[in-house]
Amino acid sequence: MTEERLQYYQTMLEAKLNSYLPETGPQQADVAAAMRYSLLEGGKRIRPILLLEFCRVCGGNPEKVLPFACAVEMIHTYSLIHDDLPCMDDDNMRRGRPSNHIMFGEASALLAGDALLTMAFEIMSGEEAVSAVGAERAIKAANILAFRAGAAGMIGGQQIDLMSEGRGITLDILRTMDEKKTGALISAACRMGCALAGAGAEKEEAAGRYAWAMGLAFQIVDDILDATGTEEELGKPVHSDAGRDKNTYVSFLGLSEASTEAQRLTKAAVDELDSFGAEATFLKELTEELCTRRK
């Protein structure tokens, strides 16, 4: 069942994302092509799926809020493009393919990121989104996303990452970094789903607590996979963290304790879903799957 619904969501999302960035002409070396390259190929679409599913478990119609789900994925994608740039993490590979700036050059990658970030807000404030859920809910969703994608959230996490690379940081700082860098956007997606369905503040807070635990578990699993997986399995360079002398949950806790911590957080996340009732079964299964994944 989990697999079927996942596919249903993924198919919807791919089609919708595709509709926002129509195929460009023969001239591929432009910003639109760079946007397509990173947005339309690869990616698990976890964040938009969480948005759609939280909307559904709160009684909303996922198909109506697709534009918002796409907006979240655009923000996620822009952050990866900018994060891979030479002045940031300087990563040449992403999802088993050359990074955006390797394919299109730094300038186009920079602009493609800027354009995806801007497009996310264009879509959420556009006619389709507003007529689907009304101006009040649409603008609330945009605000949830902007706040958590910004300097207090995702970008704040990038900054901690920048400042801590090559220096000794504590486990606490690592956790704060990941809460912001990864957790904030996951939190935005879950909260937006609730808000778009018109659920009250209580549900939104529960979704936020779920996202916090799930995001951290997800990140710990990421670190574990980086330490134990192969490049072939993951489609990206592995042991990159150790190679950079980067602090991770694995370097702090060791493999075994990191794994226990991931399990504890996964359980905490799943427990938060109880308040969403019987409809939350898919979300629980999805959470277990994501946090026990092997690639």
Which positions touch a second copy (CB under 8 A)? Answer: 30-32, 35, 78, 82, 85, 87-88, 105-108, 110-111, 113-115, 117-119, 121-122, 125-126, 130, 134-136, 138-140, 142-143, 146-147, 149-151, 155-156, 158-159, 162-163
Within 8 A by CB and 6+ apart from 48, the residues are 9, 13, 69, 70, 72, 73, 189
CB of 123 to a second copy, least distance (A): 8
Q: Which is nearer to a second copy, 162 or 255 (CB)?
A: 162
Q: Residue 44 in 3-state DSSP? A: coil
- Using only the alpha carbons of the chain, give its radius of gyration: 18
CA distance 36 to 56: 28
Quote the least distance from Cβ 275 to a second copy, whole Å. 26
Q: Is 94 helix (H, G, I), strand (E, B) or coil?
A: strand
**Nearest approach, Cβ of residue 195 and a second copy (Å):** 12
Residue with Cβ nearer a second copy (30 or 285): 30
Written as six digits, the tokens of 271 are 């427990």
- Single-letter amino acid, residue 22: P
Nearer to a second copy, 52 or 117 (CB): 117
Which residues touch 266 (CB under 8 Å, ≥6 apart)? 213, 214, 217, 287, 288, 291, 292
Query: Judged by CB, which is closer to a second copy: 157, or 270?
Result: 157
Question: Rounded CA gap, 252 and 145, in Å?
Answer: 31
* Three-state DSSP class for residue 127: helix
CA-CA distance, 121 to 285, in Å (whole number)? 31
Nearer to a second copy, 120 or 265 (CB): 120
Shorter beta-carbon distance to a second copy: residue 163 or 242: 163
Report in angstroms how near the CB of residue 293 gets to a second copy at its nearest. 29
Q: Which is nearer to a second copy, 78 or 210 (CB)?
A: 78
Cα–Cα–Cα angle for 13, 112, 118, rounded to 5 degrees: 70
Is there a contact between 180 and 125 (Cβ–Cβ < 8 Å)? no
Q: How far is the CB of 115 from a second copy (least distance, A)?
A: 4
CA distance 188 to 206: 12
Q: Residue 268 CB, nearest distance to a second copy (Å)?
A: 29
- Taking the complex as a whole, the smallest distance from the CB of residue 219 to a second copy amounts, in Å, to 20
